[in-house]
Amino acid sequence: MDSKGDYSDEIVGIIGVFGGEVPYIKRVPQAKLYPGKWCIPSGHMKAGETPAEAAARELEEETGYGVPKGERIDELGKFTFLADMDGGKKINLNISLLLYITEEKPDIHICDEHTESKYIALEVLSDKERLFLYNHTRGATDFTPIDALIIDKYMPEAYGRYKATIKSRAKSIA
């Protein structure tokens, strides 16, 4: 038990960048935390897993995409989020946020924890004005409060790393 919440949990989230776009998945209506809201692939860390191992597992479980062996998954940040659960309970989520970048853009195959999926351009997610316009032209995207924080605080850095990776790959090809 934690003094700020009823209990704590270790969570990993992964910003997967596929050809410049990030997969978002919509939580089922009966989810205990933020039902019906849009989120990046995320979930509980299992005993003995590193954050990168847990992130790769969650990405595969929730989108069907398996990160090839030896591919880099980078840490983007760590933060704690006090979440409100159904029934008034609070949970302290200790979140490790990771970043995976590839030029592939596979179809998303969601699991039974989600009802829909879509790709959103990382460039849009990293710019508040573009995201505002996207939300109003394509219908308001209802992100979880955790994902709203990730978009606000971490997507600009993810976009910067993505652009640097693309430039680096272009130089190595030339």
Query: DSSP readout, 64-115?
Result: SPPPPTT---EEEEEEEEEEEPGGG-EEEEEEEEEEEEES--PPP---TTEE
Q: Is the pLDDT of residue 1 over 50?
A: no
**Assigned domain for 142 exists:** yes
Please report, for the domain that includes residue 95, its CATH number.
Answer: 3.90.79.10
Interval 28-68: pLDDT, tens: 999 989 999 999 999 999 999 999 999 999 999 999 999 99
**Assigned domain for 1 exists:** no
**Assigned domain for 2 exists:** no
Q: Is the pLDDT of residue 10 over 60?
A: yes
Specify the pTM. 0.89
3-class state of residue 130 by DSSP: helix
**Assigned domain for 19 exists:** yes
**Assigned domain for 112 exists:** yes
For residue 87, what pLDDT is reported?
Answer: 75
For residue 44, what pLDDT is reported?
Answer: 94
For residue 139, what pLDDT is reported?
Answer: 61
Interval 80-132: pLDDT, tens: 999 987 777 888 999 999 999 999 999 999 999 999 999 999 999 998 888 88
For residue 29, what pLDDT is reported?
Answer: 95
**Number of domains forming the structure of the chain:** 1
Asked if residues 107 and 22 have their Cβ atoms less than 8 Å apart, the reply is: no
For residue 136, what pLDDT is reported?
Answer: 66
**Assigned domain for 68 exists:** yes
Q: Could you tell me the residue range of the domain that residue 151 belongs to?
A: 7-173
